[in-house]
Structure 1
Amino acid sequence: MAEKQPNKRGAKALAQAEPVGADLDTGKLVERNQELQVMAQAEAQVKALATTLGYAGALDTDSLWSMVEYRQRRSVEDILEMGRGLLLIKEQTAHGEFQEQIAMRGFNYRTAARLMTVALKFSKSDTVSLLKAAGTQAKVLELAVLDDEDLQALESGESVAGITVDDVERMSASQLRAALREARADADAKDQRINKLSEDLNKEHEKTIKAQRRWKAATPDEQLVTLKQAVTEAEQNVLAAIGSEGSGLRASIQALADFACDNHVEEDAARFLSDVIGRLLTSVRIARDDEDLAIAIPAAASQLLAAPHGSKGRIASALAEQLGCSVQTAYRHLSKVTAALKPRKRRSDAGELSLTRDEAASIAALVEETRRLTGTGALPVEEAVDALRANGKIEAMRVDKGTGEVVQLSTSAICRAIRHYGFHRDQLAAATPAARLSSPHPNYLWQID
């Protein structure tokens, strides 16, 4: 009989585990170990670079990108703050010391000037949207070349030099620089064209002034030569426009006539050409018959002045037939020229009155009294003068200075004198002027209640 084994207390030994999955590949373990070593080496290099750059933040790429994006947003604000600070420093610094302080602190003066320009430009108006669209310092520096009006226009959504806020946000700094340079080049070219046009206008104005000076300094003969040259140049231009059979107006008319014949539209073409030629002839006739052109009839005017009695009508008729106008129009032309060549002489006693004021008053009183008594009409001036002369009330005479002869005044001279003295019936019957109480000067009359 076998001896019974005593029961042992405590944990029992586990059965050996069965292998699960594929056996380990020692080659892959070695490869993985090498990868870990490479990663560790790369991490060490990144840490070394961070130490060199003085960076103490997180080194994972997500954190680094977050930092970069944050700094990118802050970069625009930083550049404005730097510019504002430099402006305030310059305001408090004595003249000439600002550049020295910039050099001592390692700043470049040109860079500092650009920063101050940016701060000054973007602080004058609300440009939040534009600064947000720019996003980087480089773009902000490029936008600083624009005027204040252009910046405000971009901020309000308008287009400046073909660029909008969306374009600023989409473009890179180099693209924005190129676009602004192209726009500036176009603006400069436009300014150059405007300046050239202004210079040309100034030159033409100077030529006109010089021509006017030469004209004033020239003799009448020289002025006549200049005017003839101007007329000749205008004539040549007209003849050149009319042209010949191969060019100009004549060639165009011939081409239209040939086309009309070939296509059986002669009637329409004839009406059109008739209107064209009629307008041209009318323009020439207007230039020929211009009433202000006294030189158009100098020969006839000279003949008229030298013509004996009875032959002037024949000269006027011949001139009217030559000009294609009426005799009255010809006489009107002739009168202007003859009056200029041989003006009417002024009388030696022109402006003098031989009738005294008392005589004029007596004549006017008799005429007015007769009108009131009869109620039918006024007494003619001639009859009133005769009645007063017969009664010895007036003389109404003048002495001829050449012969010493006493001559009675004509009725027209008496009427002219009566009107001169203000005794004419129309003048006496006129309404009293409304301004009879006007004061001669300010403060002439004071009224006190």
Structure 2
Amino acid sequence: MTLNYQDVMTADLSSLTDVSAAWKKMGERFGELKTAYETNVQGVLGNGNWQGLAYGAQQQYASATAFEYGAAKKEALAVASLLTDAHTELTRLQKAVKDLVHDAEKKDYKVDSSGKATYVGYDNLSEQEKYALHHDPDYPRLQADAREKAQGWTDEIAKAVKAVDEADQSVKRALTRATSDGSTDGIGIGGFNAQAEGDLAKAGKPEPKATKPDGWVAEGESDASGPGTGTSATGPDAAAGKLAEAEAHADLGRASAEGSLTNGPMKLAGEAEAYVGAKASAAGGITNEGIRGEAGAFAGAEASAKGTADAGPVGVYGRAETKAGAEAGINAGVGLEGVQAGAEAFAGAKAGAGGGADIGGIGAGATVEGWAGIGAEAEATFGKGADGKWHIGAKTGVAVGLGGEVGFEVTVDPGKIADTAGDAANAIGDAAGAVGDAAGAFGSAVGGLF
């Protein structure tokens, strides 16, 4: 959350010193516990009277426990130091904002609750003085000057508020890092942080911007939302040939991200998304392009990731997905862009992967899923997808306890085929031209001999 002017002006920072003292006391107590544990547990059991595999296992875990006591001390003392630094820095920056406001008010500028300054010096004039001022030829210039100076105060105050917010974000980063254990020492990842940094200037630095090799162009975006609920319904629409469609969802959370790296003919791309919640939908329609109908429902959690790597006309792709919950669906359609039919019902957990290769716009691959639950699915596809490619494929699966699904897929990308053909034609034309030039040069050389 970004701090605003009102947040900065009303914040009470005094509690930071009390909290810092509590964390310091807790850190010292963890140190005492570590000493007591090493003396009264490890020391006693390690007197040589107990031997064997059980003793070895106990000592291994006892060492990890002792380590975590020490790591807890390090983490707690680091947090105490960070809170002390935070109190010092935030108090200094908050005072800078308040001093600016005080200086502005001394010069007859009023600062409102949003941090905007307005000149109010004329309000203190008598009615006679106001009348004379309003009829002064320089009055428009004086007003413009007052507005310009007011904007200057507003900008300076906004800049000072931003400095407080940036410091606050720095404290947040530092505290998050201090209390996050990413190492495998002690009991492993997720324990106390034995490398916690207590210097705010070091621990609060922003993440360094990722660098990339020269020539690579990076693009990407991400989105996250939840929790939330909603419904929608449209139709019938005779003009569009749509009978009706409806959707309802109750989301605990959803997130997605995608990005790419491009360097000439080389392109790496990837997408990932995750969802937790429940959703249901139904739709149907008849148009001059065909007939379609589908319905489905899902409750649980799902996540997927996919990526591609292309070098000119040759590429490879892969994807992975996992799902836990219950779902059911049915779909059927026939039209100018293909035929599709399928049905599924499942309760349990799934994990699957797919991969394949693409050459000049024609791709082939396979899919496989492992199921733990009860369900069955069958689907056959021949049609044009949202990505503009034609898809041909089939898959079938069943599980009563443990089971799975296998399938195949073939894709045809008309656009890429056309581009590949065009590139090939250009290459052939260039080669033919080069041969012609060489033949002409050879003929000239031979003619020069006679």
TM-score by length of structure 1 reads: 0.22
Which has the larger share of strand? 2
Considering only CA atoms, is the larger Rg found in Structure 1 or Structure 2? 1
Of the two structures, which has the highest relative contact order with CA contacts closer than 8 Å and spacing of 6 or more?
A: 2
Which has the larger share of helix? 1
TM-score by length of structure 2 reads: 0.22
